[in-house]
Structure 1
Amino acid sequence: MLIVGYGTLARAIIQRVSAKTYASVDIYNRTKSVVDLDPACNYVPPEKFHRYASVLVALPAAAYEDFFRRWAGFFPEGTCFYYCATKIMQTEMRMYVDNKQSATPCKLAGHAEILRLMGEGAFAFENEEKRTQFERWSDGAFKTVIAKEDHVLEGNRVATEESLRALLTIEQKLQQAGVPQSLIESVNASIPGGIAQAHKKGTHGHFAKEILKKWQGDDHDG
């Protein structure tokens, strides 16, 4: 498998796959120098693209058109491109790949930096065979699920929008209460993520449990 890109998501994948497999990961990135500095990476130049029948595209959505216009023809017939950009859909990918190549969604349901730091998040596939191939290559380094790519898009969109709304609300209320900016930044950097982890594990503290109890009571009363 060749990974294309060296952004946050690519680095998260590289870090976890390398740690799991104890091997370097094959990477192509437009800037070779940053890849060469990473001991977990093995830089692959375009003249060697013909060796890869599986390619994981971890580029931002805006970079897809340029990459495929330049390099799609360098890959062999039958190459499968696993594409990760949340906004890129199968209909768009059909315009990028050659007729005898294929593309399959490999979308992260989650945040790339949290995947890198904590391993949280899941890669979603629409095809069980492709999921199995990805798990075999990554040696089970990630959680994977079967889900439609438009559901991943909606999940990431709603979670991002509501998380931002909550953070801005916290900031506004604390500013109105005269709380120092340094403390606001500390609270916002720590508590939302901690609450999310506790909610997942069912380990809320007393303060959070009391708030949930109150909300549940309000819902029941309504």
Structure 2
Amino acid sequence: MLIIGYGTLGRAVIRRVSAKTGASVDVYNRTQSVIDADPACNYVPPEKFHHYTKVLVVLPAPAYEDFFRRWAGSFREDTCFFYCATKIMRAEMNTYVKNKQSATPCKLAGHAEILRVKGEGAFSFEHEERRLQFDRWSDGAFNTVIAKEDHVLKGNQVATEEHLRALLTVEQQLRQEGVPKSLIESVNASIPGGIAQAHNNGTHGHFAEEIMKKWQGDDHDG
């Protein structure tokens, strides 16, 4: 598998695959020097693209068109592109691949920085065969699930919007209460992730449990 890109998601994948397999990862990036400086990477130049039949594209969505316009013809006809950009959908990918090349969604349900730091989040595939191929290549370094790519898009969109709305509301209310900026930053950095973890595990603390009971009571009264 060849990785295309070295952004936040790319670095997260590289670090975890290299740590899990104990081997360096083949990577192409427009700036070769950053790849050469990373011991977890082997730089692969465009003239060697034809050696790979499976390619993991971790570029940001705006970079897809330029990359495929320049380099799609350098890959073999039987190449399968695993594309990760949440906003890029199959219909758009089909305009980028050439001839008999194929594309399969490999979307992260989660946040790239949290994947890099904590390994949390799951890569989603629409077909079991592709999920197993990714698992074998990464040696099980990631959680993987089967889901439609539009469901991942909706999940990431709603979660991002609602969590951002909540963070901004917290900041506004605490500023109005005269709470220092440093404390606001600490609260916002720690509590949302902790609440999410506890909610998934069913381990809410007393404070959160009391709030949940109050909301449930309010819903019942309504």
Q: Please classify the TM superposition score into its range, dividing by the shorter chain length.
A: over 0.9
How far, CA to CA, are the matches of 1:128 and 1:194 in structure 2? 32
Shift of 1:133: 0.5
Higher deviation after alignment, 113-122 or 156-165: 113-122
Any residues of structure 2 matched to 1:23-102 within 5 Å, and which? 23-102=23-102
Shift of 1:77: 1.0
How far, CA to CA, are the matches of 1:203 and 1:41 in structure 2? 39
- Give the CA RMSD over aligned residues: 0.7
Higher deviation after alignment, 198-207 or 149-158: 198-207
Shift of 1:214: 0.9
Q: Deviations over 1:126-174 (max 9, x none)?
A: 1111011011101111111111100000000000000100000000000
Q: Structure 1 counterpart of 2:93, which letter?
A: M
How far, CA to CA, are the matches of 1:204 and 1:16 in structure 2? 29
Shift of 1:23: 0.5
Q: Among all aligned residue pairs of Structure 1 and Structure 2, give the percentage whose two residues are the same amino acid.
A: 81
Q: Structure 2 counterpart of 1:132, which letter?
A: L
Is 1:130 matched up with 2:130?
yes
How far, CA to CA, are the matches of 1:83 and 1:31 in structure 2? 20
How far, CA to CA, are the matches of 1:8 and 1:187 in structure 2? 24
Is 1:194 matched up with 2:194?
yes
How far, CA to CA, are the matches of 2:79 and 2:5 in structure 1? 17
**Is there any run of 5+ residues in structure 2 with no aligned partner, and where?**
none
Aligned to 2:181: 181
Is 1:211 matched up with 2:196?
no
How far, CA to CA, are the matches of 1:188 and 1:58 in structure 2? 28
Helix, strand or coil for the counterpart of 2:18? helix
How far, CA to CA, are the matches of 1:208 and 1:52 in structure 2? 50
Q: Structure 1 counterpart of 2:221, which letter?
A: D
Q: Structure 1 counterpart of 2:11, which letter?
A: R
Deviant stretches of 4+, over 6 Å: none
Aligned to 2:6: 6
Aligned to 2:158: 158
Helix, strand or coil for the counterpart of 2:160? helix
How far, CA to CA, are the matches of 2:202 and 2:116 in structure 1? 23
Q: Structure 1 counterpart of 2:32, which letter?
A: K
Shift of 1:200: 1.2
Q: Deviations over 1:44-98 (max 9, x none)?
A: 0111101000000000000000000011000011100000000000000011000
TM-score, normalization by structure 1:
0.99
How far, CA to CA, are the matches of 2:90 and 2:29 in structure 1? 23
Any residues of structure 2 matched to 1:136-151 within 5 Å, and which? 136-151=136-151
Higher deviation after alignment, 51-60 or 211-220: 211-220
How far, CA to CA, are the matches of 2:151 and 2:25 in structure 1? 29
How far, CA to CA, are the matches of 1:43 and 1:198 in structure 2? 41
Q: Deviations over 1:94-124 (max 9, x none)?
A: 1100021000000000000111111111111
Helix, strand or coil for the counterpart of 1:95? coil
How far, CA to CA, are the matches of 1:119 and 1:221 in structure 2? 41
How far, CA to CA, are the matches of 1:33 and 1:43 in structure 2? 9
Shift of 1:194: 1.0
Shift of 1:28: 0.3
How far, CA to CA, are the matches of 1:167 and 1:92 in structure 2? 33
**Is there any run of 5+ residues in structure 1 with no aligned partner, and where?**
none
